Structure 1
Amino acid sequence: MASASTVRTASAFSRRSLISAGAVGVASAAAFGVLAPASADEVGVEPSTSAEEWTEEFFTRAETREGFVVDAMDDWQLANAKFIIAAVKGHGLGEEVAVIALITAIVESWLYNYEPAVDADSGGLFQQRPSMGWGTYDQVRHKQHALNAFLGLAEDTDAPGLLQVIPDVTYWESGTAAQTVQSSAHPERYAEQVAAARQIWERCAADVEPFTA
């Protein structure tokens, strides 16, 4: 298996600790409980999750990050997970790519479209940084653009995405593939979420239609 360093030897990315203090920070995690994500009432109107209802409002809505557990996912986490699966399917890609995208979004934002910048200018589902070529402030917080950029399918993004650095993910461990794109200071955290990502895929994939818009 190729190492990340053999594919991408230099990176200017800087990643925060998953529970680092920021706009929500440690105090917020303590207040709500790391294992108790915000309820749908706390984060806003219940989102739409059908392939026909992925709207611009959905793509750009910022949610509040409080926590992540598969069995305690709120409506926004579930909607975001389903969108990732739908969009990956829409690109003609399968489970392995979806799992890599899901584990990255879990680690980076606990499957919320996170608005405030925590690590420098990072934001969105994948905590992408405009200063590192991932797009504008608004683009990295636009779920469709952010996912396409992560996958390496956004034409207006300079940072290399998954399919650009690893054209065939078949022989890569999912956590290593995610780290190759993200260049995190905590690479071990992606592998820790593989089981959760696969559980989400198994629960949702059969009922999610491909999204191609």
Structure 2
Amino acid sequence: MTQTRIHNLSISLDGFATGEGQALDAPMGHAGMRLAGWMFATRFGAPILERSGGTAGVDDAFAQQNEPGIGAEIMGAGKFGPPGWQDDPDWKGWWGANPPFHTPTFVLTHRPRPSIGMEGGTTFHFLDATAVEALDAASAAAEGRDIRIGGGATVVRQFLAAGLVDHMHLVQVPIVLGRGVRVWDGLEGLEADYDIEAVSAPSGVTHLTFDRKTA
């Protein structure tokens, strides 16, 4: 059965998944690399920064679950590019000619543009759509495989609020950001809908998995 999944979503102790001041030279705003540092240290994450090696263990085991079974991705405008990317007709995302998604990828934006085919099987489609409409489009493209909600925090919150997320892997990082974009606002009582497990890692992060309860 097709599921809607979130993986490797890092948040601070005070609930921020993105720092303030996102820009071309600061994709995560003032948070810098601190939220995702645990992942980039793993075997899964090191190649993203064109590094070799990386750690095995708990963090890598969770990070690796990001890929299997995914047939399409949905992301927000803030994950695709810095503020103002819609004004640059040549902007094709942060990831170069061969983005790491390798599937149809739907970017939610109020200013759609023609689809962009990239190397490695990624095609970016730009939609001005609700969460439900975007999920319908992604499901049609996924050909029976799962849909990944890739972020950022605002898009994740929209899908959680709409009750559209079946599985979420969230990573609580022991830092306090104080400002940025929070995940939990408006989601009071969310925990009642999920079975939740927590695993602490030697790196200092805590992996939280949320699986929707079945009737």
Name the TM-score, length of structure 1 as normaliser: 0.25
Greater percentage in strand? 2
